Structure 1
Amino acid sequence: MRETIARESLEDALGAFRSLDFYVVMFGLALCRAWIVLCLSAPFVVSEIGVSDWLFLIPGALSTLAAAFVAYRVAQRARFDRRFKAITGAMVGVCVLGSPVVVLGQSTIGMVAFMVLSGVASSCLQVLWGVGFARRKASFSLYCYPSSAIVTAVLVAIVLFEGGLLAFCLYPIASFLLLLVSTSKSTGVELADGGDTASGDPAIERGESTSGRKPLPYHVIGRLLVSIVIFSFLCRMYDALPSGGAVDPLSAIGGSSLFALVVTGALFLVFSVLLGRVFNPLFGYRIALPLMALGMAIVSLFFSDHWYLSILLIGVGYELFDTLTWILLVALAQNQQVRLSQYVIFGLGTAATMLGMGIGYFAGGTVRESIVYGSLQVSSIGIVSVMVLVVTAFLVLPEGTFAQLAGRRLFDRDGGKAIVREADAAGNPLETGCDAIADEYRLTPREKDVLLLLARGRTLAIIMRDLGIAKGTAQTHIENVYHKLGVHKQQELIDLVESYVGI
């Protein structure tokens, strides 16, 4: 069984890497992300003119939020798609043509306008790439997004070493042109079922569910968006903190933050290739949180000596979370349980990321001044950050909510339809869903029996009676099931089962 899954995962990966569309999308998104990173790190923008990074990020967040609102209200998605793409292309063109004049002219007003327009254009371009991912198979993002992270780091490192302005003209226009190529029907890309906005199904066009499943509550998606804001805020706030005199040993290859992008992309890509058919996003979420917490703890204890190590760990943890949230957004955009269009999903997701980063840079600058003047200790920042991270992990986005968002069936090669077909054929979808969960999470036969009873709403006393086991044994099995599935209460378990198969 495991050998078969591993072989099929490898076949999926090889199929993706052999596709020309894979490289078009990978380089296109990487160029867009590199453009964003360069705008935030360009020394001639920040140091000489004094323009802050949040002037780039906040307008980008507001523009994509507005785009999500318009996409939610509009009735004809195909027309919105064409107009949004045309407006984005026009803004990209203005940025490309105006960037040399603005930068060489060294005008404060011109630089502010350039940063604002670049933030809006790059954010809208990222939304378009997200929609492009959502129109492909869900497993596509498992390989393409981490690969694009590695390419992004390489593209940024090349420009930082050269220090030229050419990339500000080349990267955005190249990304937009690749977007046009990737969305052209002539590329022969195999779109995911129901992924195209022009599907012809009125229910899908309205973003309504046609599967008969209970719609995913909006507050669950809201929790994900809030957590994106918090994680982005924490990570970017640390980028603005003083180094405390420590020398970054990775500065020769772009610094710890850029190296974190390569490490995360490479490791995620390896795990995606090995575990593509049994990919569990919850596992990555459990790794991202401790990595960020460890980096923040180092800030509290050894920041002056190991500044680069704390930034590296926080960066790896955040990039891992960012990769997982991108994949979740792709899955949500393809999920007919979510009555929101692809533009709404990625508009909100991009807005949350940009908003968190913008607030983070703004707060980081304020904190930096307080630390320099001695009115605030770095250790206090680390302690407060760990507390915020813990509160987020337990109250805003607990593992049960994350598991509900990351329904495993969304990452199957056929979009989970095989499980649904098996459930319909068996006539008992609940048992089929529990069997699929038990196989994925490696439950024992007895734990699978307990899982089925819990999914039916049975209490501890009923489980003891039906299975003929003692109270302590039943409690142990229930705790083991909850632990393996990453849930904390019975309703979260039921929601997870329902995310596998429509009940």
Structure 2
Amino acid sequence: MVEGARKGRRFDALLAAVERFAPTRRLGWAFLLSWVFCVFYTDAAGGHTGAGVAASAYGAGWELFFTGLPVSMSVVMLALVVVMERRWGSPAQHAALFWVAPVATAVSTPLLFCVPADFGATVALFVAGSVLTGFGSGFMWVMWGEYYARVTQEEAEFLAPSSAVLAAVLVLMVSAMDGWVALATVTVFPLASGLCLALSWQDVVRGKSVGEYRGSFEERAHARAHDDARAGLPRVLASMGRAGFGILTACLFVCLEGSFWHAPAKNAPEAQAVILASIVFMLIVGLSATAGPRRVSLPFLYRWMCPALVIGFAALIVAGGECGAYAAYGVAIAARFAFCLITQMYFARYAVQGTATPVQSYGLGWIFVHMGDLFGVFALVFVDAGMAAGAFSLDQVAAVSMALLVVSTMFVLNDGRSFSFGTEAAAALAGASGAAVADAAMADAQVRGADGASDGCSGAARPHPALDEDASAPGAARSGASDADDLTARIRELAARGGLTPRETEVFDLLARGRSVPYVRDALVISRETAATHAKHVYAKLGVHSRQELIDLVH
């Protein structure tokens, strides 16, 4: 009988796992990610773009033009989307973009690889393809970001790793194809991604995928961010702290490190081995970021990325030539896959906090990514020219890169401003409840002492629920101050009466404000099991049996 119950539980667990993948359209971001890797990062789509031909025939200047133009167009388009959000609204509000953007991206793909005999025709086709690439992919990155910002944190932590692994599998599949078959397959990827996005967004419209972890404070912050998107852009950039610099620098070094090895032939087994290793690497990084206490943050990104990239540059010095360059290429591709995985969840969390709209979060985020790629292209052209002239060697380039990478990492890890919402909110509520602010600071210090520095909010202080109001709206802060004060006082009174510990009081505070256990997990950067255990203790000490009874007791 016991054995039968165990089998039943295993079957239920298996069924739940299968249901998480349904509907599979939610994994459509994988097609967009695989398109980028096939076209720009691995050349799996069909050999070289016009840049390769131009570099061999017309020199490095044309290589810079061909390589940098698509990236530049993407930056321009993303900047335009972010700046004009107040006037145009978010891209997801325009139904036509759900099919125009994918079609534009798909049409651009063969244009980037078309190399006629006439060089002028090659340039013209490549320019047209670059413009369409910037237009179509720019909108698609932001629209997928809007979707990720609307689902729950648990769903985002499931969809992003699953999609990234699927993208790597798709790239591996394309790398086994030849000629026009590979190019045709890659051309279909944006169309598939657009179809999945349109179908997934319908779920959001019907209310099937709205983030349950959002409380009333987050909803008001979102509304204010959307209502004042243009005026709030400087505030968004300021609140990012060094995050933008960190993302840009990471992409620069990844681009540089992965450019010294050139595959001996199309569909090289060595390149396919790198993609397989990338899948394993992504799984390790993804599990480390989402299992147990949440570590979806830029400091966490650098804590594994810096050592990996240093190893890649060291391989250039130790092994040199083909072996060292291949090892560096492998590290760069694996790091880039894992980087896209972490940043997709990172941008979603940033948008959910309410300081930025999803368009601002993902738009600015991918601008920094593309700017890093662009600067990496410039650095590579400079390095190639210097090495060809004998000004410096590959070993010297690797050594200098390692030193700059370490300095950049220390600069990023010292950032305490990313996601820094608590300070302004505390100031707004100081007049209403100075004691509550002090208690919040003390509780945060106790949390840090018990659990170490926070990884879940980019090294910044965790936002206390009593301090969630945005200081950019003084009227809203004043109107909510007295309510927050009364509620906080009631929570403190009940916590003292029930003999709750400081951590249990924090959990009680969140639950009393209507938060769910997954929200508690993310806000306090603890595992779901720990959050559930604290909730049970709170219920037992206060004599209630559910979150609703707890809310009724407080109110």
Please give the residue correspondences for 1:126-141 in structure 2 after superposition, counting only pairs within 5 Å: 126-141=141-156
Closer/same/farther in 2, CA of residues 17 and 223 from structure 1, 3 Å limit: farther
Matches of 1:388 and 1:367, distance apart in 2: 15
Matches of 2:153 and 2:378, distance apart in 1: 35
The question of 1:375 aligning with 2:376 is answered: no
Q: Which amino acid aligns with 1:328?
A: Y
SS of residue in 2 equivalent to 1:184: helix
Are the equivalent residues in 2 in contact too, given 1:231–1:356 (CA < 8 A)? Answer: yes
Structure 1 counterpart of 2:359, from 343, 364, 377: 343
Match of 1:237 in 2: 256
Matches of 1:143 and 1:151, distance apart in 2: 12
Structure 2 counterpart of 1:391, from 365, 387, 407: 407
Matches of 1:359 and 1:280, distance apart in 2: 25
Closer/same/farther in 2, CA of residues 296 and 36 from structure 1, 3 Å limit: same
Match of 2:230 in 1: none
Q: Which amino acid aligns with 1:254?
A: A
Identity %: 18
Match of 1:355 in 2: 371
Closer/same/farther in 2, CA of residues 54 and 258 from structure 1, 3 Å limit: farther
The question of 1:45 aligning with 2:71 is answered: no
SS of residue in 1 equivalent to 2:166: helix
Match of 2:246 in 1: 227
Match of 2:33 in 1: 33
The question of 1:93 aligning with 2:103 is answered: yes
Are the equivalent residues in 2 in contact too, given 1:133–1:330 (CA < 8 A)? Answer: yes
Q: Tell me by how many angstroms 1:77 deviates.
A: 3.9
Matches of 1:36 and 1:206, distance apart in 2: 34
Q: Which amino acid aligns with 1:299?
A: L
Q: Which amino acid aligns with 2:364?
A: L
Q: Tell me by how many angstroms 1:312 deviates.
A: 2.5
Number of positions where the alignment pairs a residue of Structure 1 with one of Structure 2 = 412
Q: Tell me by how many angstroms 1:230 deviates.
A: 1.1
Match of 1:124 in 2: 139
Match of 2:161 in 1: 146
Matches of 2:331 and 2:108, distance apart in 1: 37
Are the equivalent residues in 1 in contact too, given 2:98–2:198 (CA < 8 A)? Answer: no
Q: Which amino acid aligns with 1:64?
A: L
Matches of 2:219 and 2:73, distance apart in 1: 35
Are the equivalent residues in 1 in contact too, given 2:76–2:134 (CA < 8 A)? Answer: no
Closer/same/farther in 2, CA of residues 77 and 12 from structure 1, 3 Å limit: farther
Matches of 2:449 and 2:361, distance apart in 1: 30
Match of 2:170 in 1: 155
Q: Tell me by how many angstroms 1:349 deviates.
A: 0.5
The question of 1:65 aligning with 2:79 is answered: yes
Q: Tell me by how many angstroms 1:351 deviates.
A: 1.0
Q: Tell me by how many angstroms 1:36 deviates.
A: 1.4
Please give the residue correspondences for 1:65-464 in structure 2 after superposition, counting only pairs within 5 Å: 65-71=79-85, 73-74=86-87, 77=89, 81-83=92-94, 86-87=96-97, 89-97=99-107, 99=109, 106=116, 107-108=121-122, 109-163=124-178, 164=181, 165-185=183-203, 189-193=208-212, 204-207=222-225, 218-242=237-261, 251-252=268-269, 254-255=271-272, 258-259=275-276, 261-271=278-288, 274-275=291-292, 277-279=293-295, 281=297, 282-304=299-321, 305-336=323-354, 338=355, 340-395=356-411, 397-401=412-416, 404-405=418-419, 428-441=439-452
Of 199-208 and 361-370, deviating more is 199-208
* Structure having greater relative contact order (Cα 8 Å, sep ≥ 6): 1
Are the equivalent residues in 2 in contact too, given 1:136–1:191 (CA < 8 A)? Answer: yes
Matches of 1:393 and 1:318, distance apart in 2: 16
Q: Tell me by how many angstroms 1:405 deviates.
A: 3.8
SS of residue in 2 equivalent to 1:53: helix
Closer/same/farther in 2, CA of residues 100 and 379 from structure 1, 3 Å limit: closer
Are the equivalent residues in 2 in contact too, given 1:25–1:179 (CA < 8 A)? Answer: yes
Deviation digits for residues 34-69 of structure 1, max 9, x if unmatched?
Answer: 111222124242334667232211111111011111
**Which protein is bigger by CA-based radius of gyration?**
2
Deviation digits for residues 408-434 of structure 1, max 9, x if unmatched?
Answer: 9xxxxxxxxxxxxxxx99994344434
Closer/same/farther in 2, CA of residues 288 and 62 from structure 1, 3 Å limit: same
